[in-house]
Structure 1
Amino acid sequence: MSIDLPDPHDEEAGRPSKTQRKNEMKALQALGERIIAMSDAERARLPLSDDMRFAVEETSRIRSREGRRRHMQYVGKVMRREDLAAIQATFDAIEQESLHRDNVFHRLEQWRDRLIEDDSADALEAFIAEYPEVDRQTLRQLTRNARSERQREKPPTSARKLFKLIRETAGL
């Protein structure tokens, strides 16, 4: 009677190959690097275990290259016990918030540029119609000053102030 041992090269036996295990560890280490690179506020939102939080905090104290490499292997090992789906969902939510913030920011930049470039009152009236609570006198003054600065090739001090006013009016 012979015992059939699974062939280490046979991936269909249910056991992943050594290369596959290495690639999974590298992916977990890369995810750990992303977590380490996050700000403390963003990291606090992640559903991490105490062991993982400690490993992340410990990373900042390691100075040697080899020590950091070994520590990242440890981080990868700890990552195996984490809820990767929940972590990925939080990453996706943070990324969506960032994209939304960027889109709003670009929309406000477009308002600033439109106000400065459009000499007619159309842009000004359109902005006031969208944001009726804006300080109209300050808006007109900053727009006029920003146009003047642009024509005289001066630093965009008023354009920055105009953007700040637009951002505050939009509630950001």
Structure 2
Amino acid sequence: MTDTTDLELNEEKSKSQIKRDMLALQDLGARLAELKPDILQQMQLSDELLKALAESKKHTKHIARKRHNQFLGKLLRGQDLTTIHSVLDLMDSSSRQHNDRFHALERWRERLIVEGDEALQAFMQAYPETDSQHLRGLIRQAQQERAQEKPPTTARKIFRYLRELDDAKMFEQG
């Protein structure tokens, strides 16, 4: 008889675990409230939850927002959380990939301006469709701007050109 009661106790969640799960759902509800409606449509949420998420913006006071997040957490209990988490993970990874590409292009731009032709050769190996004359002219102009301590307008042009090349490369691969 004691074996079955021990098993039942092990299967039940502790009060602390229930509270952690509840707070996680509230945090998820607050995060969903910040998303655009078209993204929320991808998650196949209930109409009641979609309506509550749309109303979230009107709750500006701290206690009202807290109460509304509790309500969102309650509504989320009946939802398919795996779908919601998969869409959120996809969004996080895509923005992380975007940031990584952005920073890589910034490093290329800086390297091209500082190192000049050596970096240009390395860049052209990575991006063979580069117009070398155009980019070489931009690099020289950016180096002159930097030497004269002018605003980095040409450096911005270089970045735009690098981003166009990278986008074209991503389009060909994807």
Fold conserved between structures, TM > 0.5 = yes
Q: Matched residues in 2 for 1:138 and 1:40: separation? A: 43
The residue type paired with residue 88 of structure 1 is H
- 2:24 is the alignment partner of 1:30: no
Q: Does 2:170 match 1:169?
A: no
Say which of 131, 135, 144 aligns to 1:148.
144
1:130 aligns with 2:138: no
Flag structure 2 segments of 5+ consecutive residues without an equivalent.
Answer: 169-174
CA RMSD of aligned residues (A): 2.5
Number of residue equivalences: 163
For residues 17-166 of structure 1, what are the structure 2 equivalents within 5 Å? 17-119=14-116, 121-166=117-162
- Residue 92 of structure 1 deviates from its aligned partner by 1.8
Q: Percent identity, please.
A: 40
Taking structure 2 as the reference length, the TM-score comes to: 0.80
With 155-164 and 17-26 compared, the bigger mean Cα shift is at 17-26
More helix, by proportion: 2
Post-superposition shift, 1:75? 0.3
1:115–1:48 distance in 2 versus 1, CA, 3 Å:
same
C-alpha distance in structure 2 between counterparts of 1:14 and 1:135, whole Å? 66
Unaligned residue ranges in structure 1 (runs of 5+): 1-6
* TM-score, structure 1 as length reference: 0.81
